Amino acid sequence: MKSSVVRLVLAGSLVLAIGAAAFGALEKWSAYRSPLRRPALASTPHDVALDRLAEQRAQRAEAERQRAELLANLTGEAMVEMGREIVHGGRGFCFNCHSIGAEGGGTQGPNLEGIGERAASRVEGLSAAQYLAQSLYEPEAFVVEGFAPTMPVATERPIGIDDLEILMVIAYLETLGGRRTVEPGMKALELVPGSEKSR
C-alpha cells in the first residue's frame, strides 16, 4: 500500500511538472504573439526594408500635406516668387543653357531677358503663357532661330520639375518684360495648344 501511495505521489508530481512546463511554454508563446509584449528580435533584411518603406510613405504623405497647404494659400505673387526661385536657384537647371540679361551664363539657349514680351509674338496665335508652356513641355515644337533643338522636356530628366513648378516658372517668365496672366489653380499642361496630354 505504501508503494501505491508513493507511485500516486510520483505520478501527481509528474503531472504537475508537465503541466507547469506546458503552461510556461504557452505563456512564452502568448507573450511572443502579443505585439505589446513581444520581445525585441534582431532585425532581418525584410524588417529593415519594411521600415524603410513605411518611412518613405510617411515622407510622401508629409510632402503631399505640405503641397496641399501650399496650394490652398497660393497667390499669383507667390507663384512668381517661387518660379523665380526655380529659375535662379538652380532647381530647373535654367542657367545651364540660358541667361537673363547678364545673369547666368548659358549661351546654348536664348537669353530670357524680356521673354514675357517676346513670347506673345514668337508663334502666331499663341499667347505668352501658351508659348512658354509649349517651350517647356514640347521644346522642339518651335526652336528660336540661331539655336539648336537641345532643350529637354522640363518634366523629364535632367530637369524634372512637375506641372505646378512649370506653372510657377511660366508666371515668373511672363513678368520678364510682360505681365503675369497665369493664376493659381490653372493647369500648365492645358496651356499647350493641341497637346494630347491635355485632352
**pLDDT attached to residue 9:** 47
CA neighbor of 135 nearest in space, from 97, 106, 166, 158: 166
CA neighbor of 188 nearest in space, from 108, 112, 99, 83: 83
- Write the CA distances from 45 to 39, 52, 131, 133, 186, integer angstroms: 18, 11, 51, 45, 45
Q: What mean pLDDT, rounded, does the chain reach?
A: 81
Q: What is the pLDDT of residues 104-126, one digit of tens each?
A: 788 888 999 999 999 999 999 99
Cell numbers 540660358: residue: 98
**pLDDT attached to residue 199:** 36
Q: What is the pLDDT of residues 29-56, one digit of tens each?
A: 455 455 555 555 557 787 888 888 888 8
pTM: 0.66
The stretch 84-94 carries a mean pLDDT of 88
Q: pLDDT: is 1 or 78 the higher one?
A: 78
Grid cell at residue 85: 526661385
Residue 165: CB atoms within 10 A of its CB come to: 21
Residue pair 104/90 in contact by the 8 Å Cβ criterion: no
The stretch 65-92 carries a mean pLDDT of 86
User: Residue 18: which pLDDT band, with cuts at 50, 70 and 90?
Assistant: low
Q: What is the pLDDT of residues 145-198, one digit of tens each?
A: 999 999 999 999 999 999 999 999 999 999 999 999 999 989 999 999 876 554
User: Residue 3: which pLDDT band, with cuts at 50, 70 and 90?
Assistant: low
Q: 109 phi and psi, to 5 degrees?
A: -120, 170
Looking at the predicted structure, is the pLDDT value of residue 28 above 80? no
Domains of the chain, by residue range, sit at 1-41, 76-198
User: Residue 90: which pLDDT band, with cuts at 50, 70 and 90?
Assistant: confident
Fold of 76-198: Cytochrome Bc1 Complex; Chain D, domain 2 (1.10.760)
Find the farthest-apart pair of alpha carbons in the chain and give their distance in angstroms, rounded. Answer: 119
